[in-house]
Structure 1
């Protein structure tokens, strides 16, 4: 039952960092380790991984961010056990098996509910962790909403509490997207370009600005050290802007 400690720590790390970088879930240490040799599908650890498999595969594929989070989670959960190598392999097997079908999702939820029946807040934290996984690729699809909603109902989580969690994640990613949008807008401004310019025009403007602000060229013109330093900073800004624009265009 100590698995909830892992979940709580992970969620706390999220709120502290306000970011879903997978490394935030790594290196969680517990002083007391459990020895378990039974069926992990009767243990919170196995049931959690099974539900993670359902959520990760809900939209048809497991993205790289989801895969990384799953990898770190399996590592951190297995370190909770004395026989961690054995447990990790069993959890991997559970994940591989459970991502292939959604038919037993309700049964898994019912088993998890039995283990957490007297701890509502624990189930809310589990739900928060599953939503973290669903949102990590920044695209909370209708399918992901439906399966997480079904899980929440089966775990007897109040509708208002589930919606509150969803709203919190949506607000976070909306703000993050807005911040990225401002950054992209600034990048076009730095390159003296427009969003509807094609890639060749962007590249041409980038090269023109590099030649104009390259510190070696400025130095060769006999400029003072202060001007050279300003050119160095400007060139860095130009390079960063160009990388942001290329990334936004998938180049």
Structure 2
């Protein structure tokens, strides 16, 4: 059961990224807090964040959607520990350090494998989460494919399972694109902007909406979990709208 919450959190975020409802998960108990003051690079939490950093930076940049997913994940992981704030800062340090180089990717994978060698299902779930991160911006690049393949091999994931996950994501995002309901006009409506606005105005309106609907801010105001979930969904819609407008403007 150790660190099983990571799989639950990953799955919940996986669902959130697809606009699924998460109400049925509200009774999951994540109140059991772990006390840890060692090297997080010897812990599943730190190793997972290190691999997230590699995947997020694989194509040379971290998109708004990737950044948002990573931020929520760091928060969810750190809340599992008694020394929450300290852990969160250490995880941020790991993320910022590990995204700068791919040289130790296999070493990180080997350390994670050693901690999960008796739990193949957990490693597959971790792989699923990393692929979700790679796909979340709707573009699975060749470099993202290569690094996730390397990670999968180092974690000793069966090729058939890796390909099954990749195919599932490809089919999902292909269908999502075909059924895309967020038109460019709708995107401007979501950002409370117009096509006549310049890029700086669009950016300001985007940032204002993010502050207004950010789940962390909503949670800090004492809102209920349902309201926080709604804010999470709204924030994703805002991010998607902004990404679509940026793409259409070439910025």
Task: Please indicate, yes or no, whether the TM-score normalized by the shorter chain is above 0.5.
Answer: yes
Q: Note the C-alpha offset of 1:29.
A: 5.4
Which stretch has the larger CA shift, 26-35 or 139-148?
26-35
Does the 8 Å contact 1:3/1:77 carry over to 2? Answer: no
| 1:160 equivalenced with 2:160 (yes/no) | yes
Cα distance, 1:39–1:162 mapped onto 2, change above 3 Å: same
Q: Note the C-alpha offset of 1:14.
A: 3.1
> Which structure 2 segments of 5+ residues have no match?
187-194, 197-240
Cα distance, 1:83–1:150 mapped onto 2, change above 3 Å: same
Q: Tell which has more relative contact order, 1 or 2 (C-alpha 8 A, sep 6+).
A: 2
Alignment-derived partner of residue 75 in structure 1: 75
Q: Note the C-alpha offset of 1:7.
A: 1.9
Residue deviations 1:44-72 (CA, integer Å, cap 9, x gap) = 00000000000000000111111111100
Residue deviations 1:176-211 (CA, integer Å, cap 9, x gap) = 00012x7759x9xxxxxxxxxxx99xxxxxxxxxxx
Cα distance, 1:146–1:70 mapped onto 2, change above 3 Å: same
> Which structure 1 segments of 5+ residues have no match?
188-198, 201-242
TM-score by length of 2: 0.69
Alignment-derived partner of residue 53 in structure 1: 53
**CA distance in structure 1 between the partners assigned to 2:140 and 2:134 by the alignment:** 6
Q: Note the C-alpha offset of 1:11.
A: 1.5
**CA distance in structure 1 between the partners assigned to 2:19 and 2:127 by the alignment:** 16
Q: Note the C-alpha offset of 1:127.
A: 0.3
Q: Note the C-alpha offset of 1:2.
A: 3.1
Q: Note the C-alpha offset of 1:117.
A: 0.3
Q: The residue matched to 1:168 in structure 2 has which SS?
A: helix
Which one has the largest radius of gyration? 1
